[in-house]
Amino acid sequence: MNDLLNGAVRWIDTLQLHQLMVNVGWAVPLVQTIHILSIAVVFGSSLVLSLRALQLAGGGLSPASWGARLNGWIGGALLVLLLTGALMICGEPGRSLLNRTFQIKMLLTLVAVILFMALAQRIRLLEKVDSATPGAVRLLAVLLLLLWLAIITCGRWIAYT
């Protein structure tokens, strides 16, 4: 696996996009800012959905209505996270791809996206405002929040590992 990652780092180092990210002084801070704002959208929207699924907030609308409002925001922000993350990898491929904390963050992100899709699918079925949320939906909501917190923490720790 390390040979594959080292090969990817060497290849990325040859790309013009890598040179752009390295040589344009404002590129990395701009991309990082957009990345952080996108994670805020994903986490904030996931928090609202989860709190509604847990019946702790947003009781005026059904969980399905909240999902309809927020799933597009989450999906769009996840796409922006993918693009800005790829740009940051191009800027410092060795620092990211070879970093164990980064690898854990990517694994957790994959799990979080899968859990989000499962939660979104189950929330679509919860049309009644007053009905109790099934235990599986509540568990998915809690797990999703915990995963996003772990991902955010890993993202901050990449700089120190």
Band of the pLDDT at 55, cuts 50, 70, 90?
confident
Mean of per-residue pLDDT scores for the chain = 88
- pLDDT for the residue numbered 150: 97
Q: Are 68 and 74 in contact (CB under 8 A)?
A: no
d(CA 78, CA 43): 10
- pLDDT for the residue numbered 112: 94
Residue 25 phi, psi (nearest 5): -60, -30
Its domain, for residue 61, covers: 2-160
Output the CA–CA distances (angstroms, integers) from residue 118 to 86, 121, 143, in the order listed: 25, 5, 12
d(CA 125, CA 118): 12
| pLDDT surpasses 70 at 144 | yes
Number of domains in the chain: 1
Residue 133 phi, psi (nearest 5): -80, 130
pLDDT digits (tens, 9 = 90+) for 68-81: 888 889 999 999 99
Q: Are 22 and 91 in contact (CB under 8 A)?
A: yes
Side-chain-facing half-sphere of 3: CA atoms under 13 Å: 0
- pLDDT for the residue numbered 122: 84
